Structure 1
Amino acid sequence: MGYLIYYLVLLPLSWLPMFVLYGIGRLLYLIGFHVFGYRKKVVRENIRGSFPDWTNEQVDAQVRRFYRYFFDSLAESIKLFSMSEAETVVRCRVENPELVAPFAAAGRSVIAYGAHYANWEIAALSFSSQFPGMTVMGIYSPLKNEVMDRLIKANRERTGTYVLSRRKVEQYFEENPVRPSLDFFVADQSPSNHAWYKLHWTHFLARTTSFLAGPERYAVRYDRPVFYMSLRMEKRGHYVARLHPVTEHPRETAPGFITETFARKLEEEILRDPTPWLWTHRRWKRGVAPEAAEALKGKAFVPPEYERWSTLPPATSGGEQAPIAG
């Protein structure tokens, strides 16, 4: 069934002009929002909880804005099944790729934090040619349908960006590829299957929120410089990505600093423009662990494991990484 959907529906649709796909997206908006109310309750609760001072009218207006953008981005993502690499770069340019050039020249890999904000699928396909000298690796959660997972993975990789299952991240970092890489974590998922004390808890969008601690642990353990990657829409279907330095020396940062910085930068983006964030995610479905609420007491709760990782010697399997020139 997965192959039939891909070859008989998604791929043929991707050959249509973008304005036609936007028209289909608008039709899907009318059906999905007004008829079936796709996850409307989840979206409204998420927005209401994130903006407690808003009136019902403001919340409802933001819900409609989100759904119009959501189905626009769905139309854009369908186009990606046949979009050329050159067009992906036109549609998503990186403003400052030169920030990682010294690391690439020195043979050092870096970690970039991102989020389900704006059209991250276009961004992922555009990155490979915009970071010369580096392998771009995106960490993702595999789909339950294995056939569709293989097909979508192959499409994501056709421009040179590699994608890696989150289940294989540990192995990937241990192998420590010789070629420098930009390892991209989309880190705003709901970490529902982790014990509360293994998560980073903080105040985010007016409520107590948990974040995965893994990306920071990898940065510290393998001494990888860290960036936050913002993504904003310039105009319909066109985006601009920008790198924001977090730390060049993660082993010198206080435990929790990297994850907390990600949370703050993402919150700034959402408060600036809430529309492109993926509000259909059940971001707060796990609730707040009573122990975490008690441990917070007005500040972020940092997992004890951070301390352990920060005291380990830097991992250099595959050879020590060269220092930055100059």
Structure 2
Amino acid sequence: MPIILSVQRLVFLLVYPLLWLIARLPFSLLYLLSDFLFFLLFHLIGYRRKVVRKNLNLVFPDKSETEKKQIEKKFYAHMCDMFLEMIKTMAIGHDGIIKRFTFTNLEIIHSLESQGKSTMVMLPHYASWEWVLSLNNQIKSLGFGVYQPIGNKYFDKLVRDIRAEFGLTLITTKETRKIIAKNEKEGIVGSYGIICDQSPMLIRTRHWGKFMGIEVPLHIGAEEMCKQHNITPVYLKVEKLKRGFYQGTFTVLTEDPRSIPDYEITDAFFREVEKSIQKAPEYYFWTHRRWKHRGKKGQEPAAKGPPGQP
């Protein structure tokens, strides 16, 4: 373990100065660097292009090869922008992030807060999930972001510290339920941000549904927590207005999560995600193998219970 930590620390010390320099580039130079990175990843390295092409062929069988190639190229350009924007978060500041990530209807969150209701802000890997941090400067409830820890503990601490500067506390997927239960017991109104479009392991699958016309297992963790703790599920639609500028719009999926049929919150979330993808597919994160379990329904273990149960 000491050797692993030493290696992690060495990697961090070598990489951090570069990240620090990139974060302090003006946006004009940042996007020039993004253009260069796009040339490397798309044209020279071909980073995960087979996965991207396979995904696009799956979900857009009616689009021409020319259309799919255009989507692919635009996606890689956006992915490079987003990667560097993540680094830029280190130095963007409160005013900068509020300017570049705006919300059209914050009154929805404010109204729920005034009623003492916690919210589960559900979003996909679309457009920009990094700069949703802007929300924490504009709400009264405590902000929590559900995430997977980084293997290098020094980079993990850096990410946590950066989020904390914007009023967001990162919580791991393993500790989320415990923290939500604790907050509920103590009467703390929380806003929980969670990305819900990952592909679950078959062994944990309890619900299958259509996503972009293909039947796949769907994560139901967010719905489970909403039902267990009476948290209001809210979909956050993110749109890219232009390079470096995004806009979020909230949609309440239900005001009474315990009263509607099981899995309807999850299905409603994916219907909203599909609308965004159909409108501007280049902003979805196509490098993920999101449809890898298609055709495997029936091979997963028996379901362990509906969303309202632990």
Map of 2:134 onto structure 1: 126
Report whether the alignment pairs 1:77 with 2:86.
Answer: yes
Map of 1:297 onto structure 2: none
Counterpart among 217, 226, 241 of residue 224 in structure 2: 217
1:143: how far off? 1.7
CA RMSD of aligned residues (A): 1.9
Map of 1:321 onto structure 2: none
Deviation digits for residues 147-185 of structure 1, max 9, x if unmatched? 212212211221111211111112112212532111111
Distance 2:29 2:105 in 1: 33
Distance 2:48 2:72 in 1: 11
TM-score for the superposition, normalised by structure 2:
0.91
Distance 1:64 1:150 in 2: 34
Counterpart among 262, 284, 289 of residue 277 in structure 1: 284
Distance 2:38 2:87 in 1: 15
Change (3 A) 1:36 1:76: same
Structure 1: which amino acid aligns with 2:222? P
Change (3 A) 1:118 1:17: same
1:75: how far off? 2.2
* Structure 1 alignment gaps of length 5 or more: 294-301, 313-326
Whether contact under 8 Å (2:214, 2:294) holds in the other structure is no
Deviation digits for residues 205-242 of structure 1, max 9, x if unmatched? 12112211111011011111111111001111011111
Map of 1:265 onto structure 2: 272
Distance 1:34 1:193 in 2: 35
1:108: how far off? 2.0
TM-score for the superposition, normalised by structure 1:
0.86
User: Which aligned segments of 4 or more residues in structure 1 are displaced greater than 6 angstroms?
Assistant: none
Distance 2:230 2:275 in 1: 27
Counterpart among 73, 76, 82 of residue 64 in structure 1: 73
Map of 1:22 onto structure 2: 31
Distance 1:138 1:112 in 2: 9
Report whether the alignment pairs 1:201 with 2:208.
Answer: yes
Structure 2: which amino acid aligns with 1:285? K
Secondary structure in 2 matching 1:167? coil
What percent of counterpart residues are identical? Answer: 27
1:274: how far off? 0.4
1:193: how far off? 5.9
Map of 1:183 onto structure 2: 192
Counterpart among 158, 167, 175 of residue 174 in structure 2: 167
Change (3 A) 1:244 1:180: same
Structure 1: which amino acid aligns with 2:113? A
Map of 1:37 onto structure 2: 46
* Structure 2 alignment gaps of length 5 or more: 1-9
